[in-house]
Amino acid sequence: LISRAFRHQFIIPDWAGFTKHIEDFYWKCKTNTEGKVASYIPQLARMNPEYWGVSVCTIDGQRFSIGDTSIPFTLQSCSKPLTYAIALDRLSPEVVHQYVGQEPSGRNFNELVLDHNKKPHNPMINAGAILICSLLKTLVKPEMGLAEKFDFTMNYFKRLAGEENLGFNNAVFLSEREAADRNYALGFYMREYNCYPDKTNLREIMDYYFQCCAMEANCETMAVIAATLANGGICPITEEKVLKPDSVRDVLSLMHSCGMYDYSGQFAFKVGIPAKSGVSGSLLLVIPNVMGICTWSPPLDPLGNSCRGVQFCEELVNEFNFHRY
């Protein structure tokens, strides 16, 4: 970092100027009071709607944060691109996509629906993510029990995050499991259609899925994860090669087309950057070869995306030329 600074080779040369813009967007979005905090479990319902944080990490490790960026939240659906990435890396896209599609579902994230091949539409919705958990559980190191597989997964998440703060929220895990009628219905529905690889223990798969949703991190850490994806799978903080570039390309392609629930098409049109949101109000934004951004604000719009987060993305591409096209 220091030698680059002396050579003036930063990916964002005018860092102070850039972060000033980020601050401006932050304050502008802060006044947005639209949306409702997720209420399907008490731990999320209790979240303060005022929380608002933005963290940026460039592929050369420059970092900036403003607002509530050190308060942990659960990853929820932001874990979906990560588990998908691990599955691609360990199993190859050919194997993974025998079981899950690449098409936006055009439906809600937890809808009881499979595509015309009787596969879940994509790995970014609940059905697809549950399926990915079954692949990780049964096809990747099948000798591992659930406890070992939890450690294996968390280790991956930590390496993506440059070994920064990453935890697990047991209360959220237990609540998710209690309030999971729809997810269980999806799980059984997929078993009825033989969607899983052989020998799948559904109870274990569902627990594993809820555990991934209940992993916990703050904006600063999630921005590093987004930056690792922006950097082709090499963590900008540790310089460790965590994922293959091909796996990352596939993850970003599906974040682009399917990452923002049933708003993905409009988001791809207006913002044009791969992103993934989760019900705790987090939003991962990946600007390939430039930077990762995480925004966090619990109030959600009717489709389930963070209101301030979506507004922030729109402000960002209005000012900077980050739209892919």
User: Using CB under 6 A, which residues numbered 35 to 64 contact ligand DON?
Assistant: none
Stated as kind and residue range, the H or E segment containing 215 is: strand 215-217
DSSP letter (8 states) at residue 301:
-
Cβ(76)–Cβ(213) under 8 Å?
A: yes
Coil, strand, or helix at residue 57? strand
Phi-psi label, residue 245: left if phi above 0, alpha if psi -120 to 50, beta otherwise? alpha
Binding mask 72-111 for ligand DON (x = CB under 6 A): ----xx-------------------------------xx-
User: Using CB under 6 A, which residues numbered 251 to 280 contact ligand DON?
Assistant: 278-279
Minimum Å distance from CB 22 to ligand DON? 25
Minimum Å distance from CB 77 to ligand DON? 3
Minimum Å distance from CB 280 to ligand DON? 7
**Count, residues near ligand DON per rule CB under 6 A:** 11
Q: Which is nearer to ligand DON, 18 or 207 (CB)?
A: 207
Amino acid residing at 165? N
Q: Which residue lies nearest ligand DON, judged by its C-beta?
A: 77
Tokens 């403003």, located at residue: 66
Angstrom CA distances, 162 to 158, 240, 309, stand at 6, 8, 24
Minimum Å distance from CB 94 to ligand DON? 25
Q: Which is nearer to ligand DON, 19 or 105 (CB)?
A: 105
Q: Identify the CA nearest to 47 among candidates 295, 291, 281, 215.
A: 281
Q: Work out which of 22, 96, 114, 125 binds ligand DON, going by CB under 6 A.
A: 125
Binding mask 139-178 for ligand DON (x = CB under 6 A): -------------------------------------x--
User: Using CB under 6 A, which residues numbered 208 to 227 contact ligand DON?
Assistant: 213
Q: Work out which of 19, 183, 231, 311 binds ligand DON, going by CB under 6 A.
A: 183
- The contacts of residue 40 (CB under 8 Å, 6+ apart) are 179, 279
Helix axes 80-91, 202-213, angle to 10 degrees: 120
Q: Identify the CA nearest to 255 among candidates 286, 281, 224.
A: 286
Rounded to whole angstroms, the Cα distance separating 168 from 156 reads 14
Minimum Å distance from CB 163 to ligand DON? 25
Tokens 């993506």, located at residue: 160
Which are the catalytic amino acids? 77, 80, 209, 261, 279
Helix axes 126-138, 80-91, angle to 10 degrees: 40
Q: Which is nearer to ligand DON, 152 or 184 (CB)?
A: 184
Minimum Å distance from CB 196 to ligand DON? 17
Binding site for ligand DON (CB under 6 A): 76-77, 109-110, 125-126, 176, 183, 213, 278-279
